[in-house]
């Protein structure tokens, strides 16, 4: 199923033509937002092409998140992209079945994916292979109740309130906040040629 | 100075360990007057209640009129812990440590619905009332309370201080040093204080939808 022809975003048609069966389907949701479902095994290939191809150049990764629709349906990992030079938005989704919550990390493409993927890992339990530092980011490091944003997670947690309180207070606050935690991994990678992103159309 | 008196002089003496004497009541008057008019708050603001707390400290409401002369951002120099806002479990040890670091005598205000009961956040990550973590003297209702509410709560603390007596200091201000960093309430009390309410009564820890029974609280009477 593909209605890329009706999309106002040329990237949708280009993805269909370039990657064929890696693009599982496309759809347009409310307010004309383009959503492309991509085979999770080829996510870095497709996303890397979207980032580097001159006609598309989605150089800004706005968000990485995930959706659990419950009922045993697959968890969707969502990449929300924005092209600064072309002023275009595109949403790429990868459906992961519950028994194989594993997808390649895109930190090598966008550094901002580092903490975003950690959040998805923390709250949904999706493992990002190749992530440099995949550990919990919001919940405590030794949180043992699971991944809270999954539909099968009870709202009030798995442990009793007394057990949650006891576990919380046996923590050492300094354990959570180490100076190294504020270091996002050395100097940021600056591209060799920094292109102007405003004011002029790309060549 | 040894204001505490010694256990051997259990009847009288100038300080009066067991019963108040003329001297201790006069000392009580002076000490309590000094204490209640120089209550320095330790602001523990985590949410929107903290905005109201800032408003209470700012010039329109001006907490300093009542002796809360400045916000003491160091627990070592604070008298009142004002917990303003929701406290997640990840922050609970921080709150407990700040309370443990505050020197005696110290008081605690739980400001707003979230700090007092967990509020609408009856979820996996939220402390259901900071009285499971630290002892609370005054609860201020509201979501968030207005600055007048906070000022009223602080004046309730002042009233509480007015009734304190040095001869009962060991009883009124007792804190077991071995319980530093430990929950203030035992498991049964935590279960009672944090019982589900509203929509949460349909939620069970195992994830089922059976309504859960609210445990009854049995607490020993305080002498």
Please give the angle made by the CA atoms of A145, B122 and A163, to the nearest 5 degrees.
40
Decide if A35 is inside a domain.
Answer: yes
Mean pLDDT of A189-195: 60
Residues of A in contact with B90 (CB under 8 A): 139-140, 168, 171, 176
Q: Tell me if B196 and A159 make a contact (CB, 8 A cut-off).
A: no
Q: DSSP class of residue B137?
A: S
Which positions 130-159 of B are in contact with A (Cβ < 8 Å)?
A: 132-133
- What are the Cα distances from residue B73, in Å, to B82, B102, B158, B181? 11, 11, 21, 20
State both tokens at B203.
């939620």
Decide if A58 is inside a domain.
Answer: yes
Percent of chain A with pLDDT over 70: 82
CATH of the domain at A178: 3.30.460.80
Strand pairing of A88-96 and A33-38?
parallel
Which residue is listed with tokens 């004046």? B155
Q: DSSP class of residue B1?
A: -
Which residue is listed with tokens 């009542």? B66
pLDDT of B151 > 60? The answer is yes
Decide if A48 is inside a domain.
Answer: yes
Interchain CB contacts (distance < 8 Å): A and B? 87
Establish if A151 touches chain B: CB-CB under 8 angstroms: no
Q: Please, which residues have CB within 8 angstroms of residue A38's CB and are 6 or more apart in sequence? A: A19, A22, A23, A24, A46, A47, A92, A93, A94
Which tens digit of pLDDT belongs to each residue from B67-101? 888 888 899 999 999 999 999 998 998 899 899 99
Evaluate if pTM is beyond 0.95: no
Indicate the number of domains in chain A: 1
Return the minimum-mean-pLDDT range out of A70-74, A82-86, B32-36, B188-192.
Answer: B188-192
pLDDT of B202 > 60? The answer is no
Class of domain B41-162: alpha beta
Which residue is listed with tokens 């329109």? B60
Residues of B in contact with A170 (CB under 8 A): 93, 181
Q: What are the residue boundaries of the structural domains of chain B, listed by start?
A: 41-162
Q: How confident is the model at residue B179 (pLDDT cuts 50, 70, 90)?
A: confident
Which tens digit of pLDDT belongs to each residue from A135-157? 888 988 888 888 999 988 888 88
pLDDT at A181: 62
Q: Which of B125, B134, B184, B201 to mutate to test the interface with A (most CBs of A within 10 A)?
A: B125
How many CA atoms, within 13 angstroms, populate the side-chain half-sphere of residue B193?
25
Decide if A138 is inside a domain.
Answer: yes
Of B126, B128, B108, B104, the closest CA to residue B197 belongs to B128
pLDDT of B9 > 50? The answer is no
CA distance A69 to chain B (A): 17
Establish if B95 touches chain A: CB-CB under 8 angstroms: no
pLDDT of A41 > 90? The answer is yes
Mean pLDDT of B144-155: 93
Question: Can you tell me the distance from the alpha carbon of B57 to that of B54, in angstroms, rounded to the nearest whole number?
Answer: 5
Task: Find the residue in B nearest to A174 (Cα).
Answer: B94
Which positions 171-190 of A are in contact with B (Cβ < 8 Å)?
A: 171-173, 176
Residue A41: domain span: 4-182
A169 → closest Cβ in B96, B124, B205: B96
Mean pLDDT of B140-167: 90
């Amino acid at each position: 199923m593909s209605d890329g022809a009706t999309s106002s975003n040329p990237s949708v048609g280009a993805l269909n033509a370039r990657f064929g069966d890696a693009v599982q389907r496309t759809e347009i949701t409310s307010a004309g937002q383009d959503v492309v479902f991509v085979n999770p095994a080829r996510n870095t290939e497709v996303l890397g092409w979207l980032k580097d191809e001159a006609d598309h150049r989605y150089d800004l990764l706005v968000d990485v998140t995930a959706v659990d629709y419950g009922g045993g349906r697959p968890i969707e990992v969502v990449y929300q992209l924005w092209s600064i030079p072309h002023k275009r938005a595109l949403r790429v989704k990868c459906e992961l079945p519950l028994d194989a919550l594993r997808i390649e990390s895109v930190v090598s493409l966008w550094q901002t994916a580092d903490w975003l993927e950690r959040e998805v890992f923390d709250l949904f339990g999706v493992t990002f292979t190749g992530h440099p530092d995949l550990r919990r980011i919001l919940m405590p490091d030794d949180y043992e109740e699971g991944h809270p944003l999954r539909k099968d997670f009870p709202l009030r947690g798995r442990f009793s309130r007394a057990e949650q309180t006891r576990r919380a207070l046996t923590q050492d606050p300094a354990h959570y906040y180490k100076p190294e935690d504020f270091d996002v991994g050395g100097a940021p990678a600056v591209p060799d040629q920094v292109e102007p992103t405003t004011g002029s159309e790309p060549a | 100075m040894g204001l505490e008196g010694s256990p051997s002089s259990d009847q009288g003496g100038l300080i009066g360990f067991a019963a108040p004497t003329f001297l201790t009541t006069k000392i009580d008057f002076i000490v309590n007057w000094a204490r209640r008019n120089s209550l320095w708050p330790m602001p523990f603001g985590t949410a929107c209640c903290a905005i109201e707390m800032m408003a209470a400290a700012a010039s329109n409401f001006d907490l300093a009129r009542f002796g809360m002369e400045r916000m003491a951002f160091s627990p070592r120099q604070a008298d009142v812990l004002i917990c303003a806002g929701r406290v997640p479990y990840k922050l609970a040890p921080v709150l407990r440590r700040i309370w443990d670091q505050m020197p005696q005598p110290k008081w605690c205000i739980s400001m707003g619905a979230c700090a007092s009961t967990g509020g609408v956040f009856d979820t996996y990550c939220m402390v259901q009332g900071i009285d499971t973590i630290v002892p609370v003297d005054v609860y201020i209702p509201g979501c968030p309370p207005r600055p007048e509410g906070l000022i009223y709560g602080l004046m309730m603390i002042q009233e509480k201080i007015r009734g304190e007596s040095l001869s009962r200091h060991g009883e009124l201000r007792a804190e077991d040093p071995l319980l530093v960093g430990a929950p203030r309430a035992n498991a049964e009390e935590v279960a009672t204080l944090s019982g589900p309410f509203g929509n949460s009564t349909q939620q069970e820890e195992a994830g089922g939808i059976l309504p859960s029974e609210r445990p009854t609280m049995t607490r020993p009477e305080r002498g």
